[in-house]
Structure 1
Amino acid sequence: DGFTPKVFHEKCDYKGPNVVVLKIRGSGQIIGGYNPIGWRSLKTKRWQYTKDSFLFSFGNRGNVDEAKLSRVTPGNEAIYDDPSFGPCFGKTDLDMRRQFNEENCSAKSRCYRHAITNTPKFAVDDYEVFQVLCHNLKVQNNSL
């Protein structure tokens, strides 16, 4: 629906936990991140604390052998929520700024354990944000 922070926040703020998935232009690489808190940009920027977020990469062309997972450490700068930016994890660990389809996105290892791509600055071909819904399921053991 759009490659701007304004559209991102109109669609995603106050929707709860989510997964951001994006495709890096020119590489076929799929990367993303899990935000267990959700986006809730107010009129000011702020850091959000969580130990449960993580970043991931599926490598080029979906090669499972190149898949990476990177957990946040220590958690006090896990999520950066700013109305003038798109989704931002850590201090540019996965950062979508201004026009996402231009080279305004970055992925550098600072607050998460490992870099998820060797491309520190990139443009996005496309991205999706998926809301994560949690339901309590009861499992019953019915013996025969």
Structure 2
Amino acid sequence: MIIFKWTKFKLEITDEIENVYKFKLLLRESRDGFTREKFHDIYDNQFRTITIIKLDNSDEILGGYNPIKWESNDAGNYGTTEDNFIFSFENSDDIENYIFSRVKDEEFAILNYNHACSAFGKFDLCLIGKTVYCENDRYEKQISRKAADKFYVEDYEVFQILN
């Protein structure tokens, strides 16, 4: 629910969000398997998506929201929007223990590149195979609390917000 409140829909929120908006599960790695091609077959041309990544051997959850359409191409081009954000939660027991980071360079909100899966900024939150990169570049803050900038995925899900 807190992730939904961070989106641009925050002005329309009521106590009955589930009746106004639907969350469509597009992809779950543990259900759908993982290949870069499968990811792009399902994910490309989708908009208003929320990516949630559970890190391996960690209580940390990383994710991001993207209101614009994802694409893939060989050259790698950026998508522009000011409404993107990325986030992390340290554990499921304390929902208020999060890091929230909006895009600061809106011309570089997402990277559309067929060799990566979802890429917010360049490596601010970038999923390549089962590896997640977390650096601070095009977004306000680094979202990972760990010293390393590279992590491994236990599972991930991608949802689309529908109304």
Please state if 1:35 is matched with 2:63: no
The letter of the residue matching 2:155 is D
- Superposed CA deviations along residues 104-124 of structure 1, whole A, max 9, x for unmatched, are 321111111011112321000
Equivalent residue pairs, number = 130
The answer for the alignment partner of 1:48 in structure 2 is 79
The structure with more radius of gyration: 1
- Superposed CA deviations along residues 31-57 of structure 1, whole A, max 9, x for unmatched, are 100011121213431111111000011
Identity of aligned residues (%): 36
Shift of 1:28: 1.9
* TM-score, normalised relative to structure 2: 0.74
User: Gaps (5+ residues) in structure 1?
Assistant: 136-144
Please state if 1:17 is matched with 2:44: no
Aligned match of 2:156 in 127, 131, 134?
127
Are residues 62 and 82 of structure 1, via their aligned partners in 2, closer, same or farther at CA, if it must alter by over 3 Å?
A: farther
Tell me if the contact between 2:54 and 2:156 (Cα under 8 Å) persists in the aligned partners. Answer: yes
The answer for the alignment partner of 1:6 in structure 2 is 37
Please state if 1:92 is matched with 2:110: no
* TM-score, normalised relative to structure 1: 0.83
Moved more, 105-114 or 35-44: 35-44
Equivalent position SS for 1:51: coil
More helix by percentage = 2
Q: Distance in 1 between matches of 2:115 and 2:80?
A: 20
